[in-house]
A and B are shown apart, each in its own frame.
Chain A
Amino acid sequence: DTGVSQDPRHKITKRGQNVTFRCDPISEHNRLYWYRQTLGQGPEFLTYFQNEAQLEKSRLLSDRFSAERPKGSFSTLEIQRTEQGDSAMYLCASSLASSLGAKETQYFGPGTRLLVL
């Protein structure tokens, strides 16, 4: 396994269209996170899964955003009716839940760069 992968790497779409991104985590990792990163900012948490269960979702996340991880492996992030403000880098990260509490290292994928025209 070579790490977290994301597809596509780049996406250009017109305002109002729906887009879907895919993330394949490191195979033995049970946690999967989605982040959004805009220029000059750090990653902003969107949501995370433990296995197939979506455990946390940012209150800043619009209803147009939905994420799934149906079999506890890969995950998809869908944005409906895209807006220009959705233009950003969407990062996926995976980790192995630790029994030691906060000691949990996330490993990131290369990201999907979205441009909404």
Chain B
Amino acid sequence: AQKITQTQPGMFVQEKEAVTLDCTYDTSDQSYGLFWYKQPSSGEMIFLIYQGSYDEQNATEGRYSLNFQKARKSANLVISASQLGDSAMYFCAMREGPSTGNQFYFGTGTSLTVIP
């Protein structure tokens, strides 16, 4: 089974609008972390936001927020007020706790295009 599933290969959003990128995960660990990364065409992975499995509130970082629904095992990224510079690949990732090897798992990514 896939650890991280991103079902949207490509998304389009109008500039200044909000967009939600979907992510579901699979783990039996109680302690885990969820991450979103942005990868522009230049190739470098840029950390955006983190959500811990025990965090009761959804994480927010500027225009980024993470809609964490633990029972549904989903961790969707919401980007508000989209900008042209947001056009990039977005990857959801999970790190399980030490008991399962500290590995990071990445999804296949969603390509976001912001339309002027």
Chain A contact residues, CB within 8 Å of chain B: 33, 35, 40-45, 48, 55-56, 89, 91, 93, 100-111, 113
Give the residue among A89, A91, A101, A106 with the most B Cβ atoms within 10 A: A101
Knowing A42-B108, A45-B104, A48-B102 are in contact, say whether A102-B97 is a contact too (CB < 8 A).
yes
**Interchain CA distance A100-B31 in the complex, whole Å:** 9
Knowing A41-B109, A43-B45 are in contact, say whether A101-B104 is a contact too (CB < 8 A).
no
Partner of B45, one of A45, A55, A93, A103: A93
Docked complex: B1-57 residues within 8 A CB-CB of A: 4, 29, 31-33, 35, 37, 42-47, 50, 52-53
Knowing A42-B107, A56-B102 are in contact, say whether A102-B32 is a contact too (CB < 8 A).
yes
Docked complex: B75-107 residues within 8 A CB-CB of A: 91, 93, 95-98, 101-107
Q: Do A89 and B43 touch across chains, with their CB atoms under 8 A apart?
A: yes
